[in-house]
């Protein structure tokens, strides 16, 4: 995946936070965890604006590979897209290579980072721990979004994406002003291939088998913060900010008591 670096079409989304030297507040280092379609990307966008943190979505990076021509795309990239289309996980070594290429941007971000869709396996989580320890960075929390499966499927089936600016809509919860057209750039919206029912089924199974074990992994590390994803995006966002504040207060109290 080395050719991805510097490619305008596959740029790291939302990673233009000010350098650490210009900031007064502590950077946030957060992971967003939860089943496909629970609303991680939506919350990451809101959080990245509020916290001035860099949003890394491995799913967005893989989707941006589609904009490359056949000659620009390496065999590894083509392979990654095939896994994604079927709703399966891209192999760990490809994902870790991709994240490593963007590691410097993430670590330079003065506002910190929000990892959305990564890590997704215990092996990825262990690799992240090792990389962060090397840079003396500790995760602040892992936000685990929870929603009943029926509501998740409704969110996925109604999702529409802009192929140009990647804006995310929902036909009922967050419709564009003109049906099928992006409010921001006017491009025709599309439905993600992996939001088709057969791929959604595979993604849910993969989530249960490979990603849900991370809940226990991060609970054992004392980092897990469970958040209900019920309600509007704004309600979930306010709940998230409150949960982060409560966690910060709890950590501060523990440090004073020591």
Active site members: 40, 120, 159, 192, 203
Three-state secondary-structure class, residue 227: strand
Select from 123, 128, 132, 168 the one that contacts ligand AP5 (CB under 6 A): 168
Tell me: does residue 41 bind ligand AP5 (CB under 6 A).
yes
Q: How far is the CB of 2 from ligand AP5 (least distance, A)?
A: 18
Judge contact between 154 and 174, C-beta under 8 A. Answer: no
Task: Please say which residue, 39 or 112, places its beta carbon nearer to ligand AP5.
Answer: 39
Asked if 101 interacts with ligand AP5 (CB under 6 A), we say: no
Summarize the chain as % helix, strand, coil (round to 5).
50, 15, 35
Among 28, 29, 55, 120, binds ligand AP5 (CB under 6 A): 120
Residue 183 is encoded by which pair of tokens?
Answer: 């409010």
Least separation in angstroms between CB 249 and ligand AP5: 25
Q: Find, among 36, 51, 34, 41, the residue nearest to 13 by Cα.
A: 41
C-alpha to C-alpha distance for 31 and 93, rounded to whole angstroms: 20
| Three-class SS of 92-103 | HHHHHHHHHHCH
* Residue 217 sits in the site that holds ligand AP5 (CB under 6 A): no
Nearer to ligand AP5, 25 or 149 (CB): 149
Indicate whether 117 belongs to the interface with ligand AP5 (CB under 6 A). Answer: yes
Taking alpha carbons only, the member of 144, 175, 136, 181 closest to residue 158 is 175
Q: Could you tell me the smallest distance in angstroms from the CB atom of residue 225 to ligand AP5?
A: 16
Rounded alpha-carbon distances, angstroms, from residue 122 to 112, 190, 203: 22, 32, 17
User: Binder to ligand AP5 among 78, 232, 245, 246 (CB under 6 A)?
Assistant: 232
> C-beta of 114: minimal distance to ligand AP5 in Å?
12
For ligand AP5, give the closer residue by CB, 123 or 137.
123
**Stretch in the footprint of ligand AP5 (CB under 6 A) among 79-87, 126-134, 218-226, 248-256:** 79-87
Q: Does 13 bind ligand AP5 (CB under 6 A)?
A: no
> Of these, 233, 239, 243, 248, which contacts ligand AP5 (CB under 6 A)?
233
Could you write out the DSSP letters of every residue in 113-171?
EEEES---SHHHHHHHHHHHHHTT----EEEEEE--HHHHHHHHHTEEE-TTT--EEET
- Contact yes or no for 172/144 (Cβ under 8 A): no
Residue 159 β-bridge partners: 170
* Interface ranges with ligand AP5 (CB under 6 A): 34, 36-42, 58-59, 62, 83-84, 87-90, 95, 117-118, 120, 124, 155, 158-159, 168-170, 173-174, 194, 203, 231-233, 236
């Amino acid at each position: 995946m080395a050719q991805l670096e510097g490619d305008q079409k596959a740029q790291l989304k939302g990673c233009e936070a000010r350098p650490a030297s210009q900031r007064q507040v502590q950077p946030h280092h957060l992971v967003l965890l939860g089943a496909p379609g629970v609303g991680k990307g939506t919350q990451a966008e809101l959080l990245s604006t509020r916290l001035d943190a860099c949003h890394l979505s491995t799913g967005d990076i893989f989707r941006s590979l589609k904009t490359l021509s056949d000659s620009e795309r390496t065999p590894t990239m083509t392979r990654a897209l095939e896994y994604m289309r079927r709703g399966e996980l891209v192999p760990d070594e490809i994902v870790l290579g991709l994240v490593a290429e963007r590691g410097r941007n993430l670590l330079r971000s003065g506002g910190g980072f929000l990892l959305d869709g990564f890590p997704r396996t215990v092996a990825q989580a262990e690799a992240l721990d090792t990389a962060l320890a090397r840079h003396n960075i500790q995760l602040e929390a892992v936000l685990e979004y929870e929603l009943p499966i029926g509501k998740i499927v409704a969110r996925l089936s109604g999702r529409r994406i802009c192929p140009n600016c990647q804006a995310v809509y929902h036909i009922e919860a967050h419709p564009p002003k003109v049906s099928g057209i992006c409010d921001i750039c006017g491009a025709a919206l599309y439905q993600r291939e992996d939001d088709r029912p057969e791929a959604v089924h595979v993604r849910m199974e993969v989530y249960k088998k490979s990603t849900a074990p991370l809940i226990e992994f991060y609970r054992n590390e004392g980092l897990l913060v469970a958040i209900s994803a019920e309600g509007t995006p704004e309600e979930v966002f306010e709940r998230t900010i409150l949960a982060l504040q409560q966690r910060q207060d709890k950590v501060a109290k523990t440090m004073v008591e020591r």
